[in-house]
Chains A and B, each alone.
Chain A
Amino acid sequence: MAREIHGMVEKRGAGLWLTHVFMILGVLVIFFPIWLAFVASTVTQPEIVKPPMPLWPGDQLWENYSKALFSGVNVPVTTMLINSLIMAIGIAVGKIIISLLSAFAIVYFRFPGRNIFFWMIFLTLMLPVEVRIVPTYEVVAGFGMLNSYGGLIFPLIASATATFLFRQFFLTIPDELAEAARVDGAGAMRFFWDVVVPMSRTNVAALFVILFIYGWNQYLWPLLITTDPEMNTIVMGIKQMFPSGDDVADWPVIMATSILAMIPPVIVVVSMQRLFIRGLVDSEK
């Protein structure tokens, strides 16, 4: 009986195959732009500018990628990759550290101004950097932080999303643990290092994945504050590789750069899929 009902709900036979066909079609359609970029990064410029371009990879992979990595258009892509890496890791690590500390303070202490601080956090959740770009730009320029890693990183860790998440998590840590620590004569920081931080490991890792991608994929902010090509990040640098005016873009190199720009975040997402999904659900809900 149970088996029959099962058969009515989960499809078998023709229905099952049809479902697979739909899924495969969906995956193919979604993958097509990436595939095309990959193909374009393995053929020569003449093959692309005389449409239609081939749909199967050519033999120029090494030439195009080494050209992109070591000479690029304005600046070698290697430089942009390093900049992106520093920015993404800086944002992820910086935000995690400051928010672990402040979430610990608001959960485990009662201090004057605690409520104001909590409302401050709430406010910052609402305003993406896109909305306050002009004045933020002026602040960063005033500090002389244009074309610097500090300028790339600090304005993007100013929102308190992570603090809010850690606060929610710390509230679920059983009171007995803090009680025990206090009875044993351990101070607050001892408790923080020996209990709170180890318990937050999974949350920290999940948040790291989300923040790394957030930082890596930034576009508008690096576009504004890195006027020196040496400081360009890869995601914003690609647009700078298009020639102004009517010149033909160096498509193979641009597409090789696009592929290089997606490799690190794709590796992070696919290899840490479980953590990533958990991080997504936690940070949005």
Chain B
Amino acid sequence: MEKRVIFRGWWLPALLIAPQVFISAVFFFYPAGQAVWQSLFIPDPFGLSSQYVGLANFEFLLSDKFYRASFVTTAVFSILVTLCSMIPALFLAVMADRLIKGSGVYRTLLIWPYAVAPAIAGVLWLFMFNTRVGVVSWYLGQLGYDWNHVLNGGEAMGLVVVASAWGRISYNFLFFFAALQAVPRSVIEAAAIDGARFWRRFWTIVLPLLSPTTFFLLVVNIVYSFFETFGVIHTITSGGPQQSTTVLVYKVFSDGFVGQDLGSSSAQSVILLFVVGLLTIVQFKFVEKRVHY
């Protein structure tokens, strides 16, 4: 789409885009280029010089069992976060949609956790399940279950999943609720006259009509669990125990800043770059074209 009416001149537009060009060149393109460049080198232990190694960093990474484990961890984590945030959100949205009055009040109340930073969400959930003072872990102990996410990898994963999914429920709820409100009443009423009960109407009419929103949310939530959950993992488990909650983004951080292994960290950045690219393509293919059935 183009404008018919335009203004003339080239120095004015050049001036207008200058700040954006400058900031993205310095803080975006240069660092991104550096990541690609550094991924081809191995610096010596003192950081004085580095040696060109071609794709050796990548070969090493892909054969490294910790890195491959991190891929699996990330996949498990993203799928769980996506499911744990979308299913309750859909349920609540369906419930809110059945109400004639009061859905606005519930919406206002449910919107809250979205504003809570992932890192703060991490602190809140850590507090509930803390092995020494946590309320929930204490009551679990009373029931005879010994909760210890510091030692038990499965429990650690469960905790970071729930803490990450919690704030996303609000987000998904807003989108599902808006989509449900847009489902034409006449279609629902026609089905009701034909004798379809609520859950039947939901499975056969409402859910298919929600498919564009669902696809959109699937992609967005996977992207979220890849990149924006760093705060949750860092506050609750710091990637442990035994790397059982080290997702890819966390590994870029821990290898790059804690382990000071710049070559490997950059190579990981480049791999992530491909993953993001792939997700973006999926998003454009499925979401932008609006899947309708």
User: Which A positions have Cβ atoms within 8 angstroms of B?
Assistant: 5-6, 8-11, 15-16, 19-20, 22-23, 26-27, 30-31, 33-34, 36-37, 40, 48-49, 51-53, 55, 97-99, 101-102, 104-112, 114, 117, 120, 123-128, 130-140, 154-155, 157-160, 163, 171, 175, 178-179, 182, 187-189, 191, 213, 216-220, 223-224, 235-236, 238-239, 248, 251, 254-255, 258, 261-262, 265-266, 268-270, 273, 276-277, 280-281, 284-285
Contact = CB atoms under 8 A, between A and B. Distances in A.
B67 interface: no
Given A127-B28, A163-B20, A188-B7, A19 B266 contact: no
B171 interface: yes
A23 B117 contact: no
B64 to A, nearest CB: 18
B153 interface: no
B112 A251 contact: no
A97 to B, nearest CB: 8
Contacts of A187: 7
Nearest to A101: B16
B133 A49 contact: yes
A5 B191 CA distance: 10
B46 interface: no
Given A36-B128, A51-B138, A132-B35, A30 B166 contact: yes
A280 B175 CA distance: 9
Given A235-B117, A238-B119, 13 more contacts: A20-B99, A23-B92, A23-B106, A33-B127, A102-B19, A106-B13, A134-B35, A135-B30, A171-B1, A191-B7, A236-B119, A238-B235, A261-B120
Contact of A265 (B109, B117, B280): B117
A189 B12 contact: yes
A239 B19 contact: no
B273 to A, nearest CB: 6
Contacts of A102: 16-17, 19-21
Contacts of A125: 280
B241 interface: no
Contacts, number: 306
B115 A213 contact: yes
B38 A105 contact: no
B100 interface: yes
Contact of A126 (B27, B114, B123, B277): B277
A26 B110 contact: yes
Contacts of B119: 217, 219, 235-236, 238-239
A26 B95 contact: yes
13 contacts: A26-B91, A26-B95, A27-B106, A33-B166, A49-B132, A109-B7, A130-B230, A135-B32, A175-B3, A191-B7, A213-B115, A239-B234, A280-B171
A144 to B, nearest CB: 14
Interface of B is mostly: helix
Contacts of A154: 23, 26-27
Interface of B: 1, 3-10, 12-14, 16-17, 19-21, 23-24, 26-35, 38, 88, 91-92, 95-96, 98-100, 102, 106-121, 123-125, 127-128, 132-135, 138-139, 166, 169-171, 174-175, 178, 185, 188-189, 192-193, 198, 216, 220, 227-228, 230-231, 234-235, 249, 252-253, 256-257, 262, 265-266, 269, 272-273, 276-277, 280
Contact of A98 (B20, B31, B198): B20
Nearest to A104: B16
Given A30-B169, A51-B135, A139-B30, A258 B120 contact: yes
B120 A120 contact: no
A123 B25 CA distance: 12
Q: Which of B96, B127, B132, B253 has the largest number of chain A CB atoms within 10 A? A: B127
B35 A135 contact: yes
A75 B138 CA distance: 32
B109 to A, nearest CB: 5
Contact of B34 (A11, A135, A171, A254): A135
A53 B138 CA distance: 9
Contact of A134 (B4, B100, B124, B266): B266
A219 B256 CA distance: 17
A176 to B, nearest CB: 8
B10 A109 contact: yes
Contact of B193 (A5, A51, A213, A276): A5
A64 to B, nearest CB: 14
A270 B135 contact: no
Contacts of A158: 23-24, 26-28
Given A37-B127, A217-B117, A133 B252 contact: yes
Contacts of B114: 213, 269
Contacts of B5: 108, 175, 178-179, 182
A111 B16 CA distance: 12
B19 A266 contact: no
B28 A258 contact: no
Contact of A269 (B6, B21, B115): B115
Contact of A53 (B135, B220, B276): B135
